[in-house]
Chains A and B, each alone.
Chain A
Amino acid sequence: MKPAPFAYLRPSTLEEALAALAGEQGAKVLAGGQSLVPLLSMRLAAPSMLIDINALPDLGHVTCDEAGVRVGALARHAHVLASPEAATTQPLVAMALANVAHPTIRNRGTTVGSIVHADAAAEMPMVLRLLEGSVDVASVRGRRTIPAAELFAGPLESTLAHDEIAVEAFFPALAPGAGVAFQEISRRHGDYALVGVAAHVELEGDEVVRARLGYLSVSDVPVVVDVSDSLADPAGAALAELEPVDDIHATADYRAHLVRVLTPRVLAAATDHARQRMNA
Chain B
Amino acid sequence: MTTKLFGTKVARVEDQRFLRGQGRYVDDLLHDDPRLLHAAVLRSPHAHARITDIDVADVLDVEGVVAVWTHDDLTDAMAEPLPLLIPHPTLTHGRTQYALAKDEVNYVGEAIAFVVAVDRYVAEDAVARIRVSYEHLEPVVGIDAARAAKRLVHDDVPGNVGARMEQENGDARAAIADAPHTLVLDLDIERSACTPMEGRGTVARWDPDTSRLTVWSSTQTSTGVRGCVAAKLGLDLAKVDVITPDVGGGFGVKVVHPWPEELLVPLAAKTLGRPVKFTEDRREHFISSAHERAQQHHVEVGFDDDGRVLGLNVEFWHDHGAYTPYGLIVPIITSTQLLGPYKPLNYRVVFESLYTNTVIVTPYRGAGRPQGCFVMERTMDAIAAYLGKDRTEVRSTNFIQPDEFPYEHGLIFQDGRELTYDSGDYPASLEKLKALVGWDEFEDFRAEMAAQGRRVGIGLACYVEGTGVGPYEGAHVHVETSGKVKVATGLTTQGQGHQTAFAQIVADTLGVRFEDVEITTGDTRKMPYAVGTFASRAAVMSGSAIHLAALRAKEKALRIAAEALEAAEEDLEIVDGVVSVRGTDTSIDLGTVAVLSNPLRYAFDEASKAATQFSVGDPGKPPVAEDDEPGLEGKDFYSPPRSTFANGMHAVIVETDPDTAEITILKYAVVHDCGHLINPMIVEGQIHGGVAQGVGGALYERMAYDESGQLLNASFMDFLMPYASEVPTSIDIDHLETPSPLNPLGIKGAGEAGVIPSAAVFAAAIEDAEGFPITAMPISPSELYALRLTHADPEETP
Contacts and interface: CB of A to CB of B under 8 A. Distances in A.
A2 B789 CA distance: 45
Interface stretch (A84-92, A196-204, A223-231, A243-251): A243-251
Contacts of A257: 785
Given A2-B121, A188-B726, A261 B786 contact: no
A190 interface: yes
Contact of A5 (B121, B659, B661): B121
Given A1-B283, A2-B120, A2-B124, A248 B713 contact: yes
A251 B704 contact: no
A42 interface: yes
Nearest to A189: B725
Nearest to A250: B782
A3 interface: yes
A233 interface: no
Given A2-B124, A188-B725, A250 B780 contact: yes
Interface string B473-508: 000000000000000000000000000000000000
B725 A254 contact: no
Given A2-B121, A258-B660, A261-B660, A249 B725 contact: no
A261 B718 CA distance: 24
A165 to B, nearest CB: 27
B121 to A, nearest CB: 4
Nearest to B703: A248
Interface string B651-666: 0000000011110000
B722 A188 contact: yes
B436 interface: no
Interface string B278-297: 00011100000000000000
A191 B662 CA distance: 15
Nearest to A258: B660
Contacts of B712: 248
Contacts of B782: 194, 249-251, 254
B623 interface: no
B283 A191 contact: no
Contacts of B700: 187-188
A185 interface: yes
A42 B717 CA distance: 13
Contacts of A248: 704, 712-713, 718
Contacts of A42: 283, 715
Contacts of B661: 254
B781 interface: yes
A1 B282 contact: yes
Contacts of A251: 782, 786
Nearest to A42: B283
A251 B790 CA distance: 15
Contacts of B785: 253-254, 257
Contact of A1 (B125, B281, B659, B718): B281
A43 interface: yes
A187 B125 contact: no
B128 interface: yes
A175 interface: no
A4 B128 contact: yes
Contacts of A3: 121
A253 B726 contact: no
B237 interface: no
Nearest to A2: B121
Interface string A240-278: 000000001111011001100100000000000000000
Contacts of A5: 121, 125
B723 interface: yes
A187 B780 contact: yes
Interface in A1-43: 1-5, 38, 42-43
Nearest to B661: A254
- Which residue among A43, A191, A254 has the maximum number of chain B CB atoms within 10 Å of its CB? A254
B780 A4 contact: no
Interface in B84-140: 120-121, 124-125, 128
Interface in B720-747: 720, 722-723, 725-726
B720 A254 contact: no
Contacts of B282: 1
Contact of A188 (B124, B281, B723): B723
Nearest to B279: A1
Interface in B516-557: none
A251 B283 CA distance: 25
Contacts of A250: 780-782
A257 to B, nearest CB: 6
A34 to B, nearest CB: 12
Contacts of A261: 659-660
A249 B121 contact: no
Contacts of B283: 1, 42
A185 B662 contact: yes
Interface in B755-788: 780-782, 785-786
B665 to A, nearest CB: 13
B579 to A, nearest CB: 54
A248 B125 CA distance: 31
- Which residue among A3, A102, A194, A249 has the maximum number of chain B CB atoms within 10 Å of its CB? A249
A194 B283 CA distance: 23
Contacts of B713: 248
Nearest to A261: B659
B724 to A, nearest CB: 9
Contacts of B704: 248
B176 to A, nearest CB: 38
A190 B725 CA distance: 9
Given A1-B283, A188-B726, A254-B786, A249 B659 contact: no
Contacts of B720: 187-188, 191, 249
A248 B191 CA distance: 14
A43 B128 contact: yes
A253 B660 contact: no
Nearest to B281: A1
Interface in B656-702: 659-662, 700
Contacts of B715: 42
Contacts of B125: 4-5
A264 B662 CA distance: 18
Interface string A157-194: 00000000000000000000000000001011111001
A194 B718 CA distance: 12
Given A5-B125, A254-B782, A189 B660 contact: no
Contacts of B121: 2-3, 5
Contacts of A249: 718, 720, 780, 782
Contact of A189 (B281, B726, B789): B726
A42 B716 CA distance: 13
Nearest to B659: A261
Nearest to A3: B121
A72 to B, nearest CB: 28
A29 to B, nearest CB: 22
Interface in A64-94: none
Contact of A254 (B722, B726, B781): B781
Interface in B634-662: 659-662
A250 B704 CA distance: 12
A188 B712 CA distance: 18
Interface in B580-618: none
9 contacts: A5-B125, A42-B715, A188-B725, A188-B726, A189-B726, A194-B781, A248-B704, A249-B718, A249-B780
Given A1-B283, A2-B120, A185-B660, 7 more contacts: A1-B282, A4-B124, A5-B125, A42-B715, A190-B723, A249-B780, A250-B780
Which A-B residue pairs are the 10 nearest by beta carbons?
A: A189-B725, A250-B782, A1-B281, A254-B782, A248-B704, A2-B121, A261-B659, A254-B785, A2-B124, A2-B120
Interface of A: 1-5, 38, 42-43, 102, 185, 187-191, 194, 248-251, 253-254, 257-258, 261
Interface of B: 120-121, 124-125, 128, 281-283, 659-662, 700, 704, 712-713, 715, 717-718, 720, 722-723, 725-726, 780-782, 785-786, 789
